[in-house]
Amino acid sequence: MRICREFEGGYARTQAADAILAAKKNSCIGKKELRLFFAELEREESGKRVGVDFILNGERPKRRMTKGEQEQAQKRLYLALDDCKSEPPLTTKIPRKFARAAAKGLLDASEMIAALFYFRWRKPQRRRRKLVKRGERYASFTYEQARAVTGLARSTLCKAFQCLRRLKVVAVSWRPMEQLKRFGMLFVDGEALNLYCKKRERYRGSNPYKRLQKTRTQSAQNANANRSTLPNNSLKAFPGKRETLSETLSRIRGRFATA
């Protein structure tokens, strides 16, 4: 039987993604609770062969979590999940690479929430799309939609997704400006997680300059560009026949004398 994978390194399944987003929007949880949530996901996926403490504090974490902090975070996390349950719960697939990095504290809370929103928003292709690979999942949304779900400010979301793109967790596929204004940006899995495309982000979509016709306004051309004009000083009108001052005065006197 063929095994269908979506992420490089496997993924974990959870039905608490909506509850986590709602709890973070209501400021019920913080970074410690998010780290514990992703650590428990990794523990369940590994078959409970690795402890939560080793996932949080093993292999050079950014900041260690003591036993007391883990117990307090676990109480707040379970209480927030009970208060923010969603009906019906939907299953979300989260890559294990990202779960381990988030559990170690390598990402900020805003970056974890932005990535969780992206994983929750991913959907399969109903038909062949020109901007993504065949069979590749994608997420198309605006920052206003992400702000309404996560509760984060627009500037915070922009910085979070920029960091995720720099870490190659997500990538952006080019799309025309008309679709960008209506449907938002087109996000796909980054190079670190993608199974279908290992190219750099700027080569994700086709070249827009080859696909779209050049409709820019032509620059106005000056009709007098090649026309020779006389300088303001009549003495320099004929540079090959320069006169001295005495010759000019004598010519002017002779003109008035004949008149």
- Determine the 3-state secondary structure of 242 from DSSP: coil
Contact 93, 11 (CB under 8 A): yes
Q: Which residues contact 188 (CB under 8 A, 6 or more apart)?
A: 132, 136, 137, 138, 139, 170, 171, 172, 173, 194, 197, 204
Q: Using a pLDDT cut of 70, give the percent of the chain over it.
A: 78
pLDDT confidence bin for 109, thresholds 50/70/90:
very high
Per-residue pLDDT, averaged over 84-113, amounts to 89
pLDDT confidence bin for 229, thresholds 50/70/90:
low
Per-residue pLDDT at 217: 52
pLDDT confidence bin for 120, thresholds 50/70/90:
very high
CATH of 108-208, one of 1.20.1060.10, 3.40.50.300, 3.30.300.30, 1.10.10.10: 1.10.10.10
In angstroms, the CA 102 to CA 37 distance is 9
DSSP state of 62: S
Per-residue pLDDT at 222: 60
Name the pTM for this structure.
0.73
Tell me which residue of 181, 52, 162, 148 sits closest to 115, measured CA to CA: 162
Q: Which residues contact 55 (CB under 8 A, 6 or more apart)?
A: 39, 42, 43, 100, 103, 104
**Residue 46 neighbours by CB distance under 10 Å:** 14
In angstroms, the CA 153 to CA 130 distance is 32
Alpha helices in 122-217 (DSSP H): 143-150, 154-166, 177-183, 208-211
Contact 43, 52 (CB under 8 A): yes
Query: Is the model's pLDDT at 62 over the cut of 80?
Result: no
Domain boundaries, the chain: 1-106, 108-208
CB burial of 201-233 (b: ≥16 within 10 Å; e: otherwise) equals beebbeeeeeeeeeeeeeeeeeeeeeeeeeeee
DSSP state of 50: S
Supply the Cα-derived Rg of the chain in whole angstroms: 33
Structure tokens at 60: 């050079």
Q: Please write the tens of the pLDDT for every residue from 29-58.
A: 999 999 999 999 999 988 888 888 888 988
pLDDT confidence bin for 221, thresholds 50/70/90:
low
Q: For the chain, what is the mean pLDDT?
A: 80
Per-residue pLDDT, averaged over 197-208, amounts to 54
In angstroms, the CA 92 to CA 243 distance is 92
Q: Please write the tens of the pLDDT for every residue from 164-194.
A: 999 889 988 888 787 787 888 889 888 888 7
Per-residue pLDDT at 24: 93
Per-residue pLDDT at 209: 44
The position carrying tokens 């999940």 is: 81
